[in-house]
Amino acid sequence: MVKRKLSSDDAVTGLLETELPNPAKKLKSVPKGKGKAKSKVADPPQYAERAESLWKVGAHVSAAGGIENAVINAAAIGANSFALFVKSQRKWSSPALTDATISDFKARLAEYSYDPRHILPHGSYLINLGNPDPEKRQKSYVCFLDDLKRCEALGLLLYNFHPGSSVGKATTDESISSIADSINEAHKATETVVTVLENMAGAGNIIGGDFAHLAGIIRQVDDKTRVGVCLDTCHMFSAGYDLRTKEGWDGIVTDFDRQVGLSYLRGMHLNDSKTECNSKRDRHENIGMGHVGIGGFHHILNDVRFQDIPLILETPSFEKPEVWAKEIGVLNGLSGADASELRLWWRGEGGGQAG
Ligand SMILES: [Zn+2]
Ligand SMILES: [Zn+2]
């Protein structure tokens, strides 16, 4: 592959400054986004350019005011993939999706050319399928199943969730079996949606910090075509998987392939980490501004095994979606870029590093 020269335009200098360097100036309108579909909010007037890339970079966007708005929010930041919550992530139940919402959502996916394979809904934070208390697990299961049914109604193929926690009242193996049992039950109650387990930072009783946990769950799932994994870079780094060097990254992918299998990989969350490797803490940081550094993301954006799956930012946006537009631009700029130039290119301040 011919290495592309990095230009100063690609740098993230000032990403976190309160006064952003007016990224709106760089936003171009796209002809597709005429906003013909009915909207409860005004369409943003400008859209970031969408890069043509085999690596599908996007962000977890807001669905405030209606799920159909998430599509516009993704297009506005130049995302080639996106994540969203299919209901309030902090409530056990939410009003059912209306037929109008469902048809608007589907119409916008077509209008803005988003493939459901590149959309990775995120499950409610309340769900814990690893809880040994039968009543509490049942409550989680009802919420989980409701999420899955919403995904199917919206025509979505994937559903990402946190495996769960033993809450210190069961062994890791018992908790892993409970999670697999719930997945099996949910698969029978739904048709197509793929349940995608997220790796975790590995704190306390939380299941999923170790690839072996994910492998253990998948081993007990009956329908292997409907289970997958989403790898979160912040979580893996905090759990002790050091992706800063090329050798480190290749070792992680080899380990994942051996224990879980790369065929199960259905998406990634691209987050830098505010805390050090093996900290077991889950603190997301903007790309290149944390302890992972820009080099860790260079490996991913040049690894052909990570093409054609959603690569989702869950970084702080400070209520300014243009931060994500900038990060998406930076990440897309890494594909095909010469690794030896990264240190010079990277001019981020406040702890940014070119490791
Ligand atoms: Zn998550
Ligand atoms: Zn994540």
Phi, psi torsion values for 60, nearest 5 degrees: -80, 100
> Closest-lying ligand to the alpha carbon of 123?
1
How many residues appear in the chain? 355
Quick check: is 314 catalytic? Answer: yes
Quick check: is 327 catalytic? Answer: no
Mode of pairing for the β-strands spanning 81-83 and 158-161: unpaired
Quick check: is 264 catalytic? Answer: no
Architecture of the 57-345 domain: Alpha-Beta Barrel (3.20)
Distance, CA 202 to ligand 2 centroid (Å)? Answer: 13
Instruction: Enumerate the domain spans of the chain.
Output: 57-345
Spatial separation of the C-alpha atoms in residues 224 and 247, rounded to whole Å: 30
What are the pLDDT tens digits along the chain (355 aa)?
A: 556 666 544 445 444 443 333 333 334 444 444 444 444 555 554 788 999 999 999 999 999 999 999 999 999 999 999 999 999 988 999 999 999 999 999 999 999 999 999 999 999 999 999 999 999 999 999 999 999 999 999 999 999 999 999 999 999 999 999 999 999 999 999 999 999 999 999 999 999 999 999 999 999 999 999 999 999 999 999 999 999 999 999 999 999 999 999 999 999 999 999 999 999 999 999 999 999 999 999 999 999 999 999 999 999 999 999 999 999 999 999 999 988 878 766 654 334 443 3
Q: How far is CA 117 from CA 11, 83, 84, 192, 322, in A?
A: 30, 11, 14, 13, 24
Distance, CA 87 to ligand 1 centroid (Å)? Answer: 15
Of the candidates 75, 65, 97, 98, the residue with the CA atom closest to the CA atom of residue 28:
75
- Choice among 60, 137, 269, 291 that is catalytic: 269
- Choice among 50, 187, 213, 284 that is catalytic: 284
Quick check: is 255 catalytic? Answer: no
- Choice among 68, 272, 285, 314 that is catalytic: 314
Quick check: is 291 catalytic? Answer: no
Strand order in the sheet with 265-270: 81-83, 56-60, 310-313, 265-270, 227-232, 194-198, 158-161
Quick check: is 213 catalytic? Answer: no
